[in-house]
Amino acid sequence: MIYARVSTEKQAGEEQTSIPDQLRRGREVCTVQGWDLVDEYVDPGVSGEALEERPEMMRLLHDAQLGRMDVVVAIDLRRIGREDFVFAQIFRALDTAEVWVHADGQLYDPENNTQRLMRGISAVVSSHDRRELLRKMANGQRARALVGGWPGGIPPYGRRLVWPGTSEGVRPKAVVELDPTEVEIVLTATELLVDGDGSGAVLSTGDVARRLNALGYRTRGGSGRPGSRVPQLWTADTVQWMLRNRALLGEVIWGKPGKPGRQRQRESRVRRTQVRRDGSPIYGEPIRMQLEPILTEQRFQQLQVALDRSAISHRSPNRVYPLSGAQTVCGNTLGGFYRNDRRNGRNYVCSNRKRPRPNEPKCSCVYLLADTLEAAVWAEVTALLSDRARLEQMAADFAALSERQAPDAGRRLAEVQRRAQRLEEAKVTQVADAMKAGLEMKLVAEAVARIEVELKDLQVEQARLQAAAQGEAAVRAQVATVGQLADHAAARLPQLGLADQHRVLQLLGAKITLMDQSKQPRLRIEGYLPELPQVDGPFLTRPVTHSR
């Protein structure tokens, strides 16, 4: 196996560190050593800091656990990792799988303690060099920003980087200028929202997004380098993001602090300066910069008023929609929606009608009164959890089943645990393979969702088998508590507010499906009984169907 990685897209094309050069040198090693090349793993433009952001390395480690390789070839140990804790994590997995590593012209034996010491020292030195490099780069960027230059990174929307010519042998420095196309989009969207289209109607951000798409405008396509961007259709959210940014006034703050620790904005992929545990920036305070404005202060304030006016609604914090996420007939999910034109403003509506997706027609699902729908669901949940006789019978059936299966429970429990582990591994593999093949993220999400459903079923089965393995006395003790649960539910459930109802539905793992598109649809309600005091897992019940 050959592994190749570079930290930036620019490096991916450089002669000495390019991906093709790393692969070429790796193949030469395999030829000289007489090794069969089974596969190649490439992470282009990926930092060596975070393992979870390196899909090919994750795939490599998974294949190593399955015994698909004997040796991993890399041009040097820095390709494996440049943070000592990541380095140790990777080599711990490779050592466990008894996989050797060939790097820096040397073959590292997982059982050779001297080599393990040397590679550990190399990891610490590499991590130190990386931190020193980051500090020097940050100091240089700050110095450039303090004298009015562009310190680095992607400029805010409406602007682009250019590199003016310099004298021979002098590396050019990037300069920020207005991007004519993006400025035109900003001005067009602003005019539509503030001045309207001449019809007198108040346009929403969704309306503006559709107009921009019709005019052939597209989004920037991400925050990467221009060559790696994939322009997308405008949506209400991206229009809001563009027009709320004070960078339209030329105000830019460079070096904004992120979150403390390793959670610093990684989820949103926004680059922020690193901070200490107390939240103070490691490399210095943020620097305020002033660029050429796109809008005047007066026009920007008019725009903010128009954005506020065109907002769909202002939902107060106490409006809770416990049935959000229920499945609709059209294959979408329900979401809460407040309508000011109705006496009862709380409604549910299909997600693709509330906010249609680009390139898809607006869904025709009807609005559903929230109070009516929630009352129907909660009445069924209350009736089930308050029915002492029904719960005791279900618990007794479970106890009898557990007694019959107790001798075989240990073996089946081990089998279920192995299946769950294989599914977890398959989830990682599918994501890595899909990203490598360039599949749409929607398809990847659907595949992962199917695995998650199967995992949840296995977790229920695992809890049942664990309870069965506890023995007859423990199971009988659990049955005795069911009556107390029913009595408590009968007294408390009718008094719960919407927020508490939402929490109860989550504990039940409730899955609610609308069976038709009428104003009072038939409902299918499925779920599991909440945990019993002595059961370390959910207590399975039969699906409950409620029809109106």
Report which residue type is found at 479.
V
The answer to whether residue 245 sits within a structural domain is yes
Number of domains in the chain: 3
Considering the domain architecture, whether residues 167 and 132 belong to the same structural domain is answered as no
Q: Is the pLDDT of residue 252 over 80?
A: yes
Dist. CA 236–CA 205, nearest whole Å: 5
The answer to whether residue 509 sits within a structural domain is yes
| pLDDT at res. 302 | 93
User: Tokens in use for 40?
Assistant: 């190649």
The answer to whether residue 425 sits within a structural domain is yes
81 backbone dihedrals φ, ψ, rounded to 5°: 180, 150
| pLDDT at res. 536 | 33
Q: Is 302 exposed, middle or buried (0-12, 13-18, 19+ CB in 10 A)?
A: middle
The answer to whether residue 284 sits within a structural domain is no
Higher pLDDT, 270 or 332: 332
pLDDT digits (tens, 9 = 90+) for 461-516: 777 666 665 555 555 555 566 667 777 777 788 888 888 888 888 877 788 999 88
| pLDDT at res. 308 | 85
Higher pLDDT, 451 or 65: 65
Q: Is the pLDDT of residue 181 over 80?
A: yes
Considering the domain architecture, whether residues 393 and 540 belong to the same structural domain is answered as yes
The answer to whether residue 337 sits within a structural domain is no
Higher pLDDT, 541 or 276: 276
Q: Which of 144, 168, 190 is the last residue of a domain?
A: 144
pLDDT digits (tens, 9 = 90+) for 114-123: 888 888 888 7
CB 375 within 8 A of CB 437: no
Considering the domain architecture, whether residues 459 and 499 belong to the same structural domain is answered as yes
Considering the domain architecture, whether residues 137 and 167 belong to the same structural domain is answered as no
Considering the domain architecture, whether residues 121 and 193 belong to the same structural domain is answered as no
CB 538 within 8 A of CB 463: yes
Dist. CA 476–CA 482, nearest whole Å: 10
CB contact burial 129-150 (16+ within 10 A = b; e otherwise): ebeeeeeeebeebbebbeeeeb
Considering the domain architecture, whether residues 70 and 121 belong to the same structural domain is answered as yes
Average pLDDT for residues 423-446, to the nearest whole number?
63
The answer to whether residue 267 sits within a structural domain is no
Average pLDDT for residues 98-119, to the nearest whole number?
87
Instruction: State the DSSP string of 341-392.
Output: TSSS-EEEEEHHHHSPPTTSPPP-PPPEEHHHHHHHHHHHHHHHHH-HHHHH
Tell me the range of 158-167, 367-376, 462-471 where mean pLDDT is highest. 367-376
Tell me the chain's radius of gyration from C-alpha atoms. 30
Which of 504, 503, 427 has the alpha carbon at shortest distance from 458? 427
Considering the domain architecture, whether residues 506 and 468 belong to the same structural domain is answered as yes
The answer to whether residue 319 sits within a structural domain is no
Dist. CA 38–CA 498, nearest whole Å: 57
| pLDDT at res. 121 | 83
CATH of the domain at 45: 3.40.50.1390
135 backbone dihedrals φ, ψ, rounded to 5°: -65, -45
CB 239 within 8 A of CB 209: yes
Dist. CA 45–CA 11, nearest whole Å: 8
Average pLDDT for residues 384-406, to the nearest whole number?
68
Dist. CA 297–CA 302, nearest whole Å: 9
Confidence of residue 227 (pLDDT cuts 50, 70, 90): low
Q: Long-range contacts of range 238-243, CB-CB < 8 Å, 24 or more positions apart?
A: 238/209, 239/189, 239/205, 239/206, 239/208, 239/209, 239/212, 240/205, 240/307, 242/157, 242/185, 242/186, 242/189, 243/186, 243/189, 243/190, 243/193, 243/205, 243/303, 243/307
Which of 281, 247, 248, 246 has the alpha carbon at shortest distance from 264? 281
Q: What is the dihedral of CA 101, 106, 112, 117, to 10 degrees?
A: -100
Considering the domain architecture, whether residues 62 and 97 belong to the same structural domain is answered as yes
pLDDT digits (tens, 9 = 90+) for 524-548: 888 776 544 333 333 333 334 444 3
Considering the domain architecture, whether residues 106 and 191 belong to the same structural domain is answered as no
Considering the domain architecture, whether residues 526 and 409 belong to the same structural domain is answered as yes
Which region holds residue 279: left if phi is over 0, alpha if psi is between -120 and 50, else beta?
left
Q: Which of 144, 171, 200 is the last residue of a domain?
A: 144
Dist. CA 105–CA 493, nearest whole Å: 69
Using DSSP's 3-state secondary structure scheme, residue 232 falls into coil
- Per the structure, the complete domain to which residue 186 belongs is given by 159-250+291-309
Average pLDDT for residues 222-250, to the nearest whole number?
83
| pLDDT at res. 537 | 35
Considering the domain architecture, whether residues 398 and 533 belong to the same structural domain is answered as yes
Considering the domain architecture, whether residues 124 and 176 belong to the same structural domain is answered as no
| pLDDT at res. 13 | 45
Lowest mean pLDDT among 317-326, 399-408, 419-428: 399-408
The label of the residue with tokens 């090349």 reads 37
Element (H, E) at 19: helix 19-33
Dist. CA 235–CA 188, nearest whole Å: 15
The answer to whether residue 402 sits within a structural domain is yes
- Within 192-320, strands assigned E span 251-254, 287-290
